[in-house]
């Protein structure tokens, strides 16, 4: 099997070229074609000689990501099923701004794994097996493809990227970090890391690693309950990553990076939507500077959870706001095409 050329660093590619009698500076040209220009074949690299393109073709391959299916929601959201080189499928979503929102906001939601191993009870991906991690190029390619959709459908480029699709990003740490590096590099897409948010179900050890690496992107924690008993019921990862451990890790992350954390909180009817739950969430926000995104629940066939009622949501959010907590209520997008948060499942 030919080697995936995008797994080589620029230095490794340069060494390979020199070993095969080519000039080392060609590595920079090839790197630009692969990332900045997103070339899908060596034949597109027109500033390389034909013999050199043949040499690359004989030893390497570019493993493209292809759009298998595409659906458009009534609210303008576009969900894509991406087929990987080995036949596996992942999903990504383009989320345009609502009219009353920031009109320039255009968000890509990308996946980091094929399936997921965390079995969160309210998430469709959690009912799938984790088949494998995505490599950095496969994550990068989702962004490129969704950016192309933004330009074709809305005449504008992406403004934001969220790692909130299929999989747990911090269990694919190396490839996620490499993809962020490529997305933010001037030699890649050149996006600001402050426009990127990585969402985790809560892997305390890796949250501390983010702090040690002094990342510049934003971090969101899928919290959904601020006491261990309730969180254990819906998120089994909490049994080995308790709220105490997560609070310590998030505080460590904040001290290392200075970046305020976002807590994502789905209000489930008659489960985590009481005033007592709000008090527990308020107490947890004291552990680390944070804001709270209250997220609308999106039903899935595998679970029996229901969205809380509007009055309860207003009381819950109102209590937090009365205590000085920054609260945003996020309305779901793309529910009619199973593109909303928690609904991605790689369906064909």
Tell me the average pLDDT across 72-77: 89
* 199 annotated ligand binder: yes
Q: Where are the beta strands (DSSP E) in 84-230?
A: 89-96, 106-109, 113-114, 132-133, 160-163, 196-200, 218-222
pTM check: above 0.85:
yes
* Residue 124 binned pLDDT confidence (cut-offs 50, 70, 90): confident
52/322 Cα distance (integer angstroms): 66
Question: Exactly one of 22, 32, 91, 109 is catalytic; which is it?
Answer: 91
Q: Active site residue: 22, 138, 296, 341, which one?
A: 341
Residue 91 is a catalytic residue: yes
Is 344 a residue whose pLDDT tops 60?
no
What tens digit of pLDDT does each residue of 17-54 get?
999 999 999 999 999 999 999 999 999 999 999 999 99
Residue 222 among known ligand-binding residues: yes
Query: Is 120 annotated as contributing to ligand binding?
Result: yes
Residue 221 assigned to a binding site:
no
**Domains of the chain, start order:** 3-61 (1.10.150.530), 66-337 (3.20.20.70)
Query: What's the pLDDT tens digit per position in 91-108?
Result: 999 999 875 656 689 999
DSSP secondary structure letters along 255-304: HHH-PPEEEEEE-BTTTS-SHHHHHHHHHHHTTS-EEEEEE-----TT--
Is residue 192 a known part of a binding site?
no
pLDDT tens digits along 309-341 = 999 999 999 999 999 999 999 875 545 545 445
Is residue 224 a known part of a binding site?
A: yes
């Amino acid at each position: 099997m030919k080697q995936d050329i995008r797994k080589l660093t620029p230095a490794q590619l340069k060494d390979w070229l020199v070993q095969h009698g080519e000039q080392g500076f060609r590595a920079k040209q090839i790197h630009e074609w692969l990332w900045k220009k997103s070339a899908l074949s060596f034949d597109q690299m027109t500033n390389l000689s034909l013999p050199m393109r043949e040499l690359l073709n004989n030893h390497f391959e570019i493993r493209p990501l292809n759009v298998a299916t595409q659906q458009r929601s009534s609210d303008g959201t576009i969900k894509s099923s991406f087929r990987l080189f080995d036949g596996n499928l992942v999903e990504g979503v383009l989320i345009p701004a609502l009219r009353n929102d920031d009109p320039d906001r255009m968000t890509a939601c990308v996946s980091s794994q094929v399936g997921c191993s965390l079995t969160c009870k309210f998430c469709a991906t959690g009912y799938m097996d984790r088949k494998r991690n995505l490599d950095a190029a496969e994550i990068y390619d989702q962004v490129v493809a969704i950016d192309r959709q933004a330009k074709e459908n809305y005449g504008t480029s992406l403004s934001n990227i969220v790692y909130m699709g299929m999989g747990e990003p911090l269990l694919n740490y190396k490839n996620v970090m490499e993809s962020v590096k490529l997305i933010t590099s001037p030699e890649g897409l050149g996006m600001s890391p402050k426009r990127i948010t990585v969402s985790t179900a809560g892997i305390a050890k890796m949250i501390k690693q983010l702090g040690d690496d002094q990342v510049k992107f934003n971090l969101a924690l899928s919290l959904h309950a601020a006491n261990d008993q309730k969180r254990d019921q819906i998120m089994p990862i909490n049994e080995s990553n308790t709220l105490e451990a997560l609070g310590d890790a998030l505080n460590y992350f904040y001290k290392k990076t200075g970046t305020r954390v976002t807590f994502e909180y789905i209000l489930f009817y008659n489960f985590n939507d009481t005033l007592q739950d709000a008090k527990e969430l308020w107490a947890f926000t004291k552990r680390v500077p944070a804001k709270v995104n209250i997220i609308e629940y999106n039903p899935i066939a595998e679970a029996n959870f229901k969205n809380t009622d509007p009055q309860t949501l207003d009381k819950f959010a109102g209590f937090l706001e009365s205590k000085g907590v920054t609260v945003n209520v996020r309305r779901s997008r793309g529910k009619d095409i199973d593109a909303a948060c928690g609904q991605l499942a790689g369906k064909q």
